Structure 1
Amino acid sequence: MRLPDTFYATVRARLGDALAKRDLDGFLATTPADVAFLTGFFYIATERPVYLWMPREGDPLLVIPRLDEEYAAQQEITVETVTYAEFPGVVTPEETLAAALSGRRTRRIGVGASLSIGALDKLTWAIGGASLVTTDAVAQLRLCKFPEEIPLHEAAARICDEMLAAGRELIADALARGTELPREDEIARHVIGYGTDRMYADYDRVVYTTKLAGGLVYAGPNSALPHGLPTRRRVRPGDTLILSLGAAVASRFVESERTFVIGEPTAEQRRYYEADREAQQVGTEAMRVGRTCAEVNRECLDVLRGHGLGDYIRHRQGHGIGLQNHEAPWVEDGDDTVLAPGMLLSSEPGVYVPGHAGYRISDTVLVTDAGPRRLTSYPRDLASNVIEGVR
């Protein structure tokens, strides 16, 4: 699961160049995703902070709670590591960091935009004389995936597509047997369990920053709520059903989302489904090098507007995916980021009709010089997503 040392060497060299351009002496990583990206160390985020010092020149330094020391060794972390006893500690984590940085050049320290005000105050007090500056140096490095990362996303995509098939099969089996159909929460538990089991079956060492597999499941009127949580409602014949699933290998995420219809679709269901499928196709094809996120989003959602469904649009076309399932860039009118090779994006326009249902099709798309390439491949046509109990 660990990427080769050459990957981390390349990342650090590019970060050094970025810090030099910004007149920063180093970058202080404070989030699981940034720490994993820069060192390959994965940890569970708790109240105990982890601090990674990435100097513009010289060797990195990792400050971790003592209880994670063995875990870091198991992950074959090669950077210098300093531990602190406990949180909040007689000697705080920030004081431990400051002592370890003593004698190093720390005039201007870059930090990520997500650093909390409380953590900023503690660090500023501990590292006296240093100026902590918000920077996008690491965020920019993460925008385009490195070649070594792509196979991990591809592996996650295969598992995510299998999760969709497992959810569909659970419902189809119940229809075929004539038994009670599963609840939304039961479907969610089933697909998440399937994805998690596949990870542990395929890999000797499983690591992640947030989760291995996740799923939102909503049917009928509930599916008109884009971020609604699964309920105890049982799915039923005639329902529109959204399976919104994600999976990550070495915390390299993908999304694969599909809309299903249980039983013969009505004319209304066909209309909404086909409009969303067309928008997703157009939007995906628009994800080309040189286009801006804003242009792609407008072109995608204009398809829905052209079908008279503008009032049923609830969100942007998509977002970036990487070590987090939602990260920059944002495929939305307010983001003028120019698409470049290696960017990994979700393409997930949706139609949400209050009181009726929602329709969303999502793929994880890799931007390449040759054009957009879907990593997820579960069928998108309506005929393939009608669930019936025929054996």
Structure 2
Amino acid sequence: MDGFGAPPPATAPARPRRARRPAAAPGPRAARPVFPFSAIVGQDELRDALLLAAVDPAIGGVLALGDRGTGKSTAVRALAALLPPMRSVAGCPYNCDPARPAALCEACRGRPVRAVTVPVPVVDLPLGATEDRVAGALDIERALSGGVKAFEPGLLARAHRGFLYVDEVNLLEDHLVDLLLDVAASGENVVEREGISLRHPARFVLVGSGNPEEGDLRPQLLDRFGLAVEVRTPTDLKARVEVVKRRDAFDRDPEGVTAAWAPAEAALRDRLTAARARLEAVIVPDSAIEDAARLCIALGTDGLRGELTLTRAARALAALEGDPEVTLAHLRRMAPPALRHRLRRNALDEAVATTRVERAMEEVFGA
């Protein structure tokens, strides 16, 4: 991808004005148009990280830290509209996968299942959300009306097999951070309150964004993100002008801009689908794993999550680019986002994390 995404499509012809119709009875609210992912200008590292997390959720999520007003939230919501739909059990609040009977929830195991096609969930976790809203709680309405102790699923249930997005994640309250850490480690949500004892699957890609000037993340949560990207305000005049033009055009005519970028979105969606299909066939040679381990040793990263994430990200990148196996070029490209947030603080080395990773790559791999 170049620094400006795909070139803007030809402007659609103006639509003739239609006569005003009498007001009709209100119906279901149509989904608001979302800024096209393909139309995002620059921010290549953020766009690539989100695509790779969609190709292989096992990478472990994406953390985007940087300046305010640089399109972090826009990119996440644009990804939601880009993702291909998925198969789910009809009526299941946890989006169970009908192709994996062993992973069905308790409710789905006890009945015949019917598969339907649904959008991949992308759920927002507000900073002020209560623990009951996130984890789920007693359904008060059913308890009062029928005296039934029923579980009302929370945001974690809705996000299963999808994405959970936390804006300003570095400001998230500690009790919610603890909850996310527990669920991320186990892949399931356990609810023990108000006479309810229940557990349900909760595997999702955690995506967080924030401004590092407003506070740091707890190290335990930081380590749970597979990729960490730096989002900076563009300094190139041409890029800034293009951002303003595309955003202004979308705000004035969202339907027209969405329609104009539809072919580019469809092509990128097909590319994403193809990458998922070929992911398991991508070869990861022992030499690539050794290179990843050597780099992590040189950087002094704690644990083995660094080389594991780096290897998975490189494999997803190879699948996205149609390459048959992981090479040193893939490792070099993915090393900064996979490792920059795993470095120990070094009082004798004031270099920023990205510079330390690049310097280590030169020492281990050569120029």
When normalised by structure 2's length, the TM-score is 0.28
Bigger RCO of structures 1 and 2 (CA < 8 A, at least 6 apart)? 2
Specify which structure has the higher proportion of helix: 2
Specify which structure has the higher proportion of strand: 1
